[in-house]
């Protein structure tokens, strides 16, 4: 293992979406993340070979039957050895299993108990089912994503599950681990995806309050309202992205497109934005995406080609930076962010259920006889 979290032990109760993403972030940074899987297959996500389950990389797994008292006892004992725990069940589920915060704190008062849900641990919607689209809808984020006079567009599940969920939980765990160094006490982290998504909207709530952001889709600077912050189709049916917000960047864009600023509306002449958009669209349609890359990449027009999942890893900048890595033939994002002295690293691909469990238990302080006893009790599959 390597990374700034080397030596940190994390117990992850297997789930979907933001929980595994949080575990990936911590494992990439060197934490020893031990995942507790079920002994039987379940509906936790689409069935794929482990090497394709990128969010589960860097772990080892123990497979437990949590209906067995011996399995519950093992999880509690592991919580006693862990620095942090991740769980993503509906509120009250771990309590009913006998694995709630209070039971774990009895074993380990320093434990950081990380909980990730859509709506939070309490409130009118706490027990309601939901997915990313629902959480970002309630936060105000979904309303602002889309084009004028069209329905909101879900931004994949990046804003709720991953940005407002898993990444926010990882941040919370890191903060609580830091605080526990001085206090000697753990605590519960209640990470709600709806609230995490709202936090990501801080700038827009501020601008709206100041009167600088209209509460409509597709009419503002950053939501496809402005012609100079949008994507455009090129001659070959591909697209490029432009973000020429600042005046000097906008002026360079107009010049490099071969347009005459004197014959165009002003950059902030809102009423004539459709006219300006039409001029930019016509200009970009005159050349292929690659031709525009040759002319505009590396300039100050704030330009980038819109790359597909297959194309992005091959781009020269991403290759130079090592932004993507290949493990077992699977191209995937490299650990981020970067550290100058203690870089993160992917220790291993995602495990099969129970893969590496016996060795992980040994590393966490269990001897061969104890591991054999867990297996004999029907609580452990390795």
Its CATH class, for the domain covering 9-200+325-381, is alpha beta
With respect to CATH, is domain 229-233+239-305 assigned 3.40.50.300? no
Q: Per DSSP, what are the bridge partners of residue 374?
A: none
Q: Is 17 exposed, middle or buried (0-12, 13-18, 19+ CB in 10 A)?
A: buried
Active-site residue, 131 included: yes
Alpha helices in the chain (DSSP H): 18-28, 69-81, 93-97, 101-107, 132-139, 167-183, 193-200, 202-209, 247-256, 273-284, 289-296, 316-321, 357-363, 368-376
Residues 252 and 306: beta-carbon distance below 8 Å: no
The one catalytic residue in 53, 132, 161, 223 is 161
Inter-helix orientation angle 167-183/193-200, to 10°: 100
Beta-strand relationship, 330-333 and 59-64: unpaired
Sequence-ordered list of residues with C-beta below 8 angstroms from that of 3, at least 6 positions apart, any chain: 28, 29, 30, 31, 335, 339, 342, 343, 344, 345
DSSP 270: G
Phi-psi region of 211 (alpha: psi -120 to 50; beta: other; left: phi over 0): left
The one catalytic residue in 131, 208, 239, 315 is 131
The segment(s) of the chain belonging to CATH 3.30.1540.10 are 229-233+239-305
| Tens of pLDDT, residue by residue, the chain (382 residues) | 689 999 999 999 999 999 999 999 999 999 999 999 988 765 555 567 889 999 999 999 999 989 889 899 999 999 999 999 999 999 999 999 999 999 999 999 999 999 999 999 999 999 999 999 999 999 999 999 999 999 999 999 999 999 999 999 999 999 999 999 999 999 999 999 999 999 999 999 999 999 999 999 999 999 999 999 999 999 999 999 999 999 999 999 999 999 999 999 999 999 999 999 999 999 999 999 999 999 999 999 999 999 999 999 999 999 999 999 999 999 999 999 999 999 999 999 999 988 999 999 999 999 999 989 888 876 676 6
Peptide bond into 273 cis (omega under 30): no
d(CA 324, CA 322): 5
DSSP 313: G
Active-site residue, 190 included: no
């Amino acid at each position: 293992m390597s990374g700034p979290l080397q030596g940190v032990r994390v117990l992850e109760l297997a789930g979907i979406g933001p929980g595994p993403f949080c575990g990936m972030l911590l494992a990439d940074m060197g934490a020893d993340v031990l995942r507790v899987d079920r002994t039987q297959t379940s509906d936790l996500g689409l069935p794929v070979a482990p090497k394709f389950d990128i969010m589960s990389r860097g772990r080892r797994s123990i497979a437990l039957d949590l209906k067995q008292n011996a399995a519950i006892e093992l999880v509690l004992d592991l919580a006693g050895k862990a620095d942090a725990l991740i769980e993503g069940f509906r509120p009250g589920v771990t309590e009913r299993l006998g694995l709630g915060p209070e039971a774990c704190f009895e074993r380990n008062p320093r434990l950081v108990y990380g909980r990730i849900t859509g709506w939070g641990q309490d409130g009118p919607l706490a027990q309601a089912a939901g997915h990313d689209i629902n959480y970002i809808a309630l936060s105000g984020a979904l309303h602002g994503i889309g084009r004028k006079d069209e329905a909101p567009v879900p931004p994949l599940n990046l804003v709720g599950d991953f940005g407002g969920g898993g990444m926010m939980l990882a941040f919370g765990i890191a903060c609580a681990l830091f605080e526990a160094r001085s206090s000697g006490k753990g605590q519960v982290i209640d990470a709600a995806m709806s609230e995490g998504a709202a936090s990501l909207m801080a700038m827009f709530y501020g601008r709206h309050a100041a009167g600088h952001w209209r509460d409509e889709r597709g009419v503002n600077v950053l939501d496809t309202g402005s012609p100079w912050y949008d994507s455009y189709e090129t001659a070959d049916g591909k697209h490029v992205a432009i973000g020429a917000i600042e005046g000097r960047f906008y002026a360079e864009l107009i010049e490099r497109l071969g347009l005459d600023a004197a014959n165009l509306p002003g950059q902030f002449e809102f009423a004539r934005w459709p006219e300006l958009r039409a001029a930019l669209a016509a200009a970009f349609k005159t050349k292929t995406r690659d031709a525009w890359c040759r002319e505009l990449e590396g300039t100050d027009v704030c330009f980038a080609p819109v790359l597909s999942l297959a194309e992005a890893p091959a781009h020269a900048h991403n290759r130079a930076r090592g932004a993507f890595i290949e493990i077992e033939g699977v191209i995937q994002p490299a650990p981020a962010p970067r550290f100058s002295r203690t870089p993160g690293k992917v220790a291993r691909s995602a495990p099969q259920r129970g893969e590496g469990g016996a060795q992980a238990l040994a590393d966490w302080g269990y001897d061969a006889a104890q591991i054999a006893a867990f297996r004999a009790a029907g609580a452990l599959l390795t």
